[in-house]
Structure 1
Amino acid sequence: MNGSRVHEASATGLLDRCRDRVRPALVEAVARLHPWTGEMAAYALGWADTAGTPDPGGSEGKGVRQALALLGAEAVGADAAEAVPGAVAVELVHTFSLLHDDIMDADALRRQRPAVWKSYGTGPAVLAGDALLAQAVTSLAEAPGPCTGAAVRHLCGTLTTLVSGQAEDLRFEDRPWSGPGAVEPDEYRSMAEHKTGALLGCALALGAVLGGAPDRTVTTLDRAGRHLGLAFQAVDDILGIWGDPGVTGKPVHADLRQGKKTYPVLVALAGGGKAAHELDALLASGRPIDGATAARVAALVEEAGGRTRTREEARRHQDAARHALREAPLRHSAAGELDVLFTHLLDRTW
């Protein structure tokens, strides 16, 4: 087995271990919901089909955020069990955000199955998301120990940031591709930190908070997670244009067809040159982006350097995340596991 496969197997085993540790508490939290919202939550989490029966073909995701919470606790010398309520909370918040994002973006598929709103309706999906959010805060607030209040405050601050990021993302849709009022790459980076980075930072920091770490260590881990989130979003943007739909669970060129302003397109436009000018003309025409047009847009984005520069962006933030880890007094073994996970997330195809 070559080095990359060994690394992937190590990261997968790490995610599986953390998911197995959190799963019983996550099941218990979902069981406390109203039966109908609980059924939708189980569907969203990949545990069941729309009839409420176990679905062996469903995908419950990789469990990145819950893993970060457990590893954050272990990294500061605490038992992972102390971080389980935090892991449950961030996983429920993540699922809530996916339910609402799919509605706002009109995404019909999630993890190769119809999105919750397509299966149950828009109103029920909104309600299920609300229920998950409420249960996330409740699960964390009921955690035993002296650090619960600080953990809840951290989560609530993150929720405010996450909503701000989603608001920025939605408002980008009404702004032009170029000229006065166009979205700049730096603005997109700020939005991505709020929408994606904040929750990954919160996940890593919550484990440390619940593990009794000092504020300075918590802040450093939060910063590492935010940089990881920016790297994660950059890779996500690449996959949204060039990913394999059989792996990502979304149609090919989904982001381009929706006209979403993602980092590869924005940096391609900002680079100038013949390909950037043709790209600008295509996007500014206002014509629907069908299959052939989307393929041309993707080719122009790549020709103008959008794919390469986005990969470089991901690398920069991965390096910044690793640098932040080195600034904190962490257990060597747990820090090593975090590094393995960071690399896996950057090299992912899902």
Structure 2
Amino acid sequence: MTLTQPADTAPVAAQQTSAPSNPGPPRDTDVLLRRARRLVAPTLHAAVEALPEQTRALASYHFGWTDLSGHPDSASWGKGVRTAFTLACARAAGGDELSAVPAAAAVELVHNASLIHDDLLDTDTMRRHRPAVWAACGTAAAVLVGDALFHAGVRVLQGELAEHTTAATVVLLDAVLELIEGEKADTAFEARHDVTLDECLTMVEAKTGALLGAACALGARYGGTTDPDHLKAMARFGRHLGLAYQAIDDYMGIWGVTAGTGKPVLADLVRRKKSLPVVYALNTATPAAAELTQLYFGNGDLAPSDVHRAAELVEQTGARDWVREFSRGHTATAREYLAAARPTADGLADLCALVRLVSEREA
């Protein structure tokens, strides 16, 4: 089975030109992430503070700012990768990253809303080494606080830079709708025995690629880009990187460790999730795929020995190597779209560092 790509091809501009000029010495991604979180945190706090009291308390717990009793806490609200990409894309467009803070906060709020709902749909009990909202406070609470954060994400765009409001809101809402469709497909896959790789890729692009693509396009817009071709290139950069990002997430869901993921080892297999490596494996005409099919679609819960056997079978089909190559391929395509957007040297250096962070996580 060959490497599968989305329908679009590498941008003509990137095919006709070499890669961007040398971005200089590698940037420290920890510094980039810390700076992005520091810049966006006040806007996130303000957005959550504007929510009704009970919803505010649950959102604050999800972000790690308070515990379940409402006392101040210092748990992580995540790396803020999408936040960092939004701000770096503003710099890549030649603008001030501070101008893109509303866009970065909007993306982060929507992303966290999707995480709350995703945990509920997948019955994942842990998020960032703490009980997920639904596990701690119930399913109704998780649905409602997730909805509230979607609202907060849109609301935060109604800020100071009025010239961006309409276009930016459309970009964000379109990404939200696509994300919802991706979640719907992912959920539907659970009851199906015939999910194709192309269907899985469409789901992944909607569920992960759409929002990262929106983050990059919004960053470029708030950074001053008005050229439709450049905005499209930045959006496609983010989309392809989102595919690479999800591929590594799915890889970690089978071959990662709890310390790195915040979730139990082999959690995706325990849940019989149709992740990229699993769907690839099931669609290979191999003895391992046949045995995996019997395990995956049998009755009752998988015993621990069955889960470990399933991981062995997925690897025997070549899925472990395939998913790495898939991630590398989409990372390369993302770089071509970034070249087509002609970023500034400073923004390019930051984006190259963030690309490495996303694509090399399995190490």
CA-CA distance at 1:97 after TM superposition: 0.5
Would the aligned equivalents of 1:93 and 1:136 in 2 still touch at CA under 8 Å? yes
- The structure showing larger relative contact order (alpha-carbon pairs under 8 Å, at least 6 residues apart) is 2
Q: Which residue of 1 aligns with 2:223?
A: 211
CA contact (8 A) 2:94 2:224 kept: no
Measured on the aligned residues, the alpha-carbon RMSD in Å equals: 1.5
Are residue 184 (structure 1) and residue 199 (structure 2) matched?
Answer: no
Q: Is the 1:25–1:88 Cα contact (8 Å) retained in structure 2?
A: yes
SS of residue paired to 1:140: coil
Q: How many residues align?
A: 338
Contact 1:247–1:349 (CA<8 Å) still a contact in 2? no
- The match for 1:170 is 187
Q: Distance in 2 between matches of 1:143 and 1:288?
A: 52
The answer to whether the 8 A contact 1:238-1:307 is kept is yes
Partner of 1:113: 130
- Give 2:65's aligned residue: 47
Aligned to 2:18: none
**Residue aligning to 1:30:** 48
1:301 matched to 2:314? yes
Aligned to 1:179: none
Task: Name 2:272's counterpart in structure 1.
Answer: 259
Q: Distance in 2 between the 1:290 and 1:239 partners?
A: 20
**Would you say 1:152 and 2:169 are equivalent positions?**
yes
CA distance in 1, matches of 2:250, 2:118: 15
Asked if the contact 1:271/1:305 (under 8 Å) is kept, the reply is no
Quick one: which of 347, 353, 357 aligns to 1:334?
347
Query: Residue 251 of structure 2 contacts residue 362 of structure 2 at CA under 8 Å; is this kept in 1?
Result: no
Take 1:40 and 1:347, find their aligned partners in 2: how far apart are those partners?
Answer: 33
- Candidates 192, 205, 217, aligned match of 1:193: 205
**SS of the residue aligned with 2:112?**
helix
* 1:18 equivalent in structure 2: 36
**Shift of residue 349, structure 1, vs aligned partner:** 4.8
**How far has the Cα of 1:286 moved from its partner?**
2.9
The answer to whether the 8 Å contact 1:75/1:335 transfers is yes
Cα distance in 2 for partners of 1:275, 1:123 equals: 40
Confirm or deny that 1:70 pairs with 2:70: no
Q: Alignment partner of 1:89: what SS?
A: helix
1:138-197 per-residue CA deviation (whole Å, 9 max, x = no partner) reads: 101224241221111111111111111111111111111xxxxx1111110110000000
Task: Return the offset for 1:348.
Answer: 1.5
Tell me whether 31-40 or 232-241 shows the greater mean CA deviation. Answer: 31-40
The unaligned stretches of length 5 or more in structure 1 are 1-5, 177-181
Helix, strand or coil for the counterpart of 2:28?
helix
Task: Select 2:337's aligned residue among 315, 324, 342.
Answer: 324
Structure 2: stretches of 5+ with no match in the other structure: 1-24
Question: Taking structure 2 as the reference length, what is the TM-score of the superposition?
Answer: 0.90
Counterpart of 2:339, as a letter, is R
Matched, 1:233 2:246: yes
Taking structure 1 as the reference length, the TM-score comes to 0.93
1:92 aligns with 2:109: yes
Instruction: Measure the CA separation in 2 of the matches of 1:315 and 1:249.
Output: 24
Equivalents in 2 of 1:52, 1:91: separation in Å? 22
- In 2, the alpha carbon distance for the partners of 1:138 and 1:319 equals 35
Partner of residue 19, structure 2:
none
